[in-house]
Structure 1
Amino acid sequence: MKLQVAIDRKSLTETEQLVRSLNGIADIIEFGTSLIKDFGFNDVSKLAQLARHSRVLYDIKTVDEGAYEFHSGFYYGADYLTVMGSASPSTIALCYKETNAIQHMMIDLTDVPENQVAKIDTFDNAVYLVHHNNDLGTKIDAPKMLANFHQLHPKVKHIAVAGGIDLDNAQRLRKQGIAEIVIVGGKISSAMFAEGAARSFREILK
């Protein structure tokens, strides 16, 4: 399983420190939506260049202007970009078209109803992100979410999971074996020793 670490709500200086600490430990370093909104592609891309031994994801959460936003995001150095599953299937298709063989589209399924997911589960090389909404204030049961999704969409090849993942959830996900990517945010990026926290997750998921 791959470990993706999300960096959100940080200054550029804090983000730089985290990228240097996580480089090569996290399989994917995520520059979260807050960083993209606060600083833009130009500033974020300079820090992304420090992740020489990890892949880079920009969580841009595209909902329209799919072709333009994906073209721009990949131009500025992303290996992965996100589009919302609630977007029009046409927008998602345009994002997919902009994604080449060494790039990746991640479809964020936060709060997307099942009838919408059923319309967009046909992109073979896309990563489908089963994403618990932390704003709900409820505890995540990641393995149960994934089991339900996998049962409903058995043809989906690449699955990621996010939303309040801790070490216990990571261990259960590893045993379950459905997720390809496990995304961890504050449990690593806000830890006193981020590198050590990332290594703990890495040890469980490898």
Structure 2
Amino acid sequence: MKLQLAMDVLTVEDALELSGKVAEYVDIIELGTPLVKNAGLSAVTAIKEAHPDKIVFADLKTMDAGELEADIAFKAGADLVTVLGVADDSTIAGAIKAGKAHGKGVVVDLIGVDDKAARAKEVTDLGAEFVEFHAGLDEQAQDGYDLNTLLTAGKAAGVAFSVAGGVKLATVADVQASGADVAVVGGGIYSADDPALAAKELRAAIS
């Protein structure tokens, strides 16, 4: 299982500092949506230039103009981009078309999708690289949120998937046991007193 760092910071400088501390322990470096919106796609270029050996993930959360938005991000250096699972199939297909043109991939983010397992199968058939079973920060903050809901849906889908939604050292073994291809960790790394140590411990737990 791969380890993905989700950088929910707001500046290129902070992203470069954080990724520099933990890159040796992670496989995928994600530029979170707030970072992309605040700093622009130049942030993607900066991270890819700093870490050319890593998979750079631009979390665009595209809802429309899939081919155009994906093309722009791939040209900026992204290896993977996200399209929302609630988007029209044509939007997802357009992004995947751009991905094929660049030899890169599209991840479909299922945030806000009710039947995640069913939608995961549909978008995989469209050509998604993998599907992200995702609970956003607002959902995680609600009473009763349970990561296991995502893990159960991922298992049921039977497709390549990642899990994002409060994954941390205490739960990463459960994520791996679910069959996930990628564990996405944000605050569990960047909010730690020692992000490098947190990433190292997560890597050891996965290995």
TM-score, normalising length from structure 1?
A: 0.89
Matched-pair contact (CA < 8 Å) for 1:23–1:50: no
In the alignment, the residues of structure 2 paired with residue 144 and residue 88 of structure 1 have an alpha-carbon distance, to the nearest angstrom, of 25
* Structure 2 partner of 1:42: 42
Unpaired runs of at least 5, structure 1: none
2:112 is the counterpart of 1:104: no
What SS is found at the alignment partner of 1:23?
helix
* Structure 2 partner of 1:29: 29
What SS is found at the alignment partner of 1:179?
coil
| Superposition deviation, residue 202 in structure 1 | 0.7
Structure 1 window deviating more from structure 2 (121-130 vs 78-87): it is: 121-130
2:153 is the counterpart of 1:148: yes
Give the residue type in structure 1 aligned to 2:165.
G
RMSD of aligned alpha carbons: 2.0
* Structure 1 partner of 2:17: 17
| Superposition deviation, residue 104 in structure 1 | 1.6
* Structure 2 partner of 1:127: 130
Deviations 1:71-116 (CA, angstroms, capped at 9, x unpaired): 1110000111000001101100111111138422110001212287
Structure 1 window deviating more from structure 2 (10-19 vs 114-123): it is: 114-123
TM-score, normalising length from structure 2?
A: 0.89
Distance 1:133 1:19, change over 3 A: closer
2:206 is the counterpart of 1:201: no
Unpaired runs of at least 5, structure 2: none
In the alignment, the residues of structure 2 paired with residue 24 and residue 169 of structure 1 have an alpha-carbon distance, to the nearest angstrom, of 21
Q: Match for 1:166 among 168, 177, 182?
A: 168
Bigger RCO (CA 8 Å, 6+ sep): 1
Matched-pair contact (CA < 8 Å) for 2:33–2:59: yes
Identity of aligned residues (%): 30
In the alignment, the residues of structure 2 paired with residue 29 and residue 140 of structure 1 have an alpha-carbon distance, to the nearest angstrom, of 26
What SS is found at the alignment partner of 2:125?
coil
What number of residue pairs does the alignment pair up? 202
| Superposition deviation, residue 203 in structure 1 | 0.7
